[in-house]
Structure 1
């Protein structure tokens, strides 16, 4: 029997059912997003532009959290994955513009690649309400 304090929220994205994951899981007061990229309606946006991709990815994550009951002020942790260290300043700048007043703990990691080679950025966001 599943725990009634754990709720799962989907976004309707094409991979959620196929790959078996939720966009957001809320476990009591803790909300966690899946990795979010700049894919909108199945199409990668901001190709070649890490700043644009970061804005889109964080927007998707924050919208998903809002749908599960959390606001930006509730964010306590972020993780950013970039495919090139040269993208760090652009992505961190987006993070700073969004979270300057919130100041969550944050991690920025350079990775060898993401699932779609057009993805330059992937983010995860956690909130506590």
Structure 2
């Protein structure tokens, strides 16, 4: 996904810094407590949002291959954080199937990425709980 296509993404599923009650909005609000609007804008311009997931398995596959999908223009910068937002939208499907293996796999992958890449891997809710 290049920067031009990022602008055309429908951010409503996984959050946007401009949509109240979304995970990224909450992060923006927390950041505004100690930074100027210019700094916020600069930071949020470095946020890439991928929202084309239909299952938690898709999220897991994406995270397993994240180094292959990060745009090349960002690969020379240190990675601070991978934010996994609103994965709870898949919870009810998992409950109905009575199978939480993919959720356990998500946690395993996040721990592995955090260790391998030396960055934070977290959900938007975990920042504020």
TM-score using structure 2 length: 0.41
Please identify which structure carries the higher strand content. 1
Please identify which structure carries the higher helix content. 2
TM-score using structure 1 length: 0.41
